[in-house]
Structure 1
């Protein structure tokens, strides 16, 4: 590590082994770095211990970057790079800077001319698209849909329209305890032949990724109350 590098380090998507989804190269990088920008210090430490059980956690420096972080403080997190120290960015789950506040520190690093290196690892969004059977050449991720019921329904209808208009896969997520309600809203408000893929616990032992028409899902929805889930809708044929 001659020049300072900002490594974007993917982490586990759930309760699965590091060996299943994290390359050896990533584990070596984690073992070598001394400075980390993380969404949650506790979960980051657990992940690092899985990568290298012998790692001296107490010798490392952590900067926490999440929705509670003062935006004015973020630029200062990159201070170690001024002295030539490489740093790692670790999200709560999956790939940093994707649906994640880590994007803000990456933007600052790019502006300052630091080298940014994204490491290979699990992405629930890309893996869901891969397994859905939907259009993988044109897709859009919308994050969380509105909490307000009427606004959420309007958004669902709009995304369905876009999937037909642009032949584009539409992806979104929800807080696990609201998954069931979101799925029910999709079933009640989309066309019967519109395709819905429900992708749960991606990369874990109980992974379940199933694509059916809205009509076929009606009355057959799985229990998603406590399960990380990606929803994808696509035009019916």
Structure 2
């Protein structure tokens, strides 16, 4: 091993190394030591990572590993690991594998008996959650939302009664459309926190009901710039409320059947009270 790799890292080991999501001061001392000591750095974008390495005067070689080549290149890296090389896996920002490449490599390493060592560090999901003011005891990270409206609305319908805090990543050019789809399914009263440009100069964390958040964003185009995390308050069940799926079934059935018959069938399917469904139908469907 060369002199630049004299720091203590284990041979034949893959290190998962988080990098800053904005503020370079957030990188850990251990991350710097590992990046400077391994034989190779597998990076999502070698040009992006090279700027980070240059900033900290780290000369370690990089190897491109991204969504389009990961499955093919995993074998190459595993062979290097088996031969005794130490490798660090990084993404462009944050913790690898969290909506970033690395899953196939890590899975293959574990299947092959290659040692995998994770380092703690920056992660936009956890950073946003900690400052959101929403419940953090139970949450679900859902990654990036689908690109098309129908896919987004289908996603929200699946999660409409989920009681956990829901966390999504979204891009600036789709944020308003995504929030409109969210409001169409979850309603204007659902509380949502938008966290953007975390750890950067123009960091913003703003929460409001969807019916207020969307107009607020429309007031200033700067509010929809940068990397974004959406945190959605979980469903709070009203003891008197009817399940959304039961109401959906009722709407489908009533198109073909009398309301009374449709309510009876929907009640039997979902195990709810027939009279409650019938009453809801009278108030909302006729």
What TM-score, normalized to structure 2?
A: 0.72
Gaps of 5+ in 1: none
Deviation track 1:182-207 (CA, whole Å, cap 9, x = no partner) reads 12333444223211010101121221
2:168 matches 1:169:
no
Equivalent residue runs for 1:18-167 within 5 Å: 18-19=24-25, 21-50=26-55, 52-53=56-57, 55-56=58-59, 60=61, 62-69=62-69, 71-162=71-162, 167=163
SS in 2 for 1:84: coil
Which portions of structure 1, spanning 4 or more consecutive aligned residues, are displaced by more than 6 angstroms? none
Task: Give the helix-richer structure, 1 or 2.
Answer: 2
Task: Give the strand-richer structure, 1 or 2.
Answer: 1
Structure 2 CA distance for aligned equivalents of residues 182 and 11 of structure 1: 28
Give the superposition deviation at 1:88.
Answer: 0.3
Give the superposition deviation at 1:138.
Answer: 1.8
Give the superposition deviation at 1:236.
Answer: 6.3
Higher relative contact order structure (alpha carbons within 8 Å, sequence separation ≥ 6): 1
SS in 2 for 1:206: coil
Bigger drift between 63-72 and 195-204 goes to: 63-72
Is 1:193–1:236's contact at 8 Å kept on the other side of the alignment?
Answer: no
> Which of the two has higher C-alpha Rg?
2
| Cα-Cα RMSD | 2.0
Matched positions, count: 225
> Could you say which residue in structure 1 is the equivalent of 2:245?
none
Is 1:35–1:80's contact at 8 Å kept on the other side of the alignment?
Answer: no
Gaps of 5+ in 2: 1-8, 237-286
2:181 matches 1:181:
no
What TM-score, normalized to structure 1?
A: 0.86
Structure 2 CA distance for aligned equivalents of residues 207 and 84 of structure 1: 42
Structure 2 CA distance for aligned equivalents of residues 2 and 171 of structure 1: 35
Is 1:6–1:89's contact at 8 Å kept on the other side of the alignment?
Answer: yes
Equivalent residue runs for 1:198-237 within 5 Å: 198-221=194-217, 223=221, 224-235=223-234
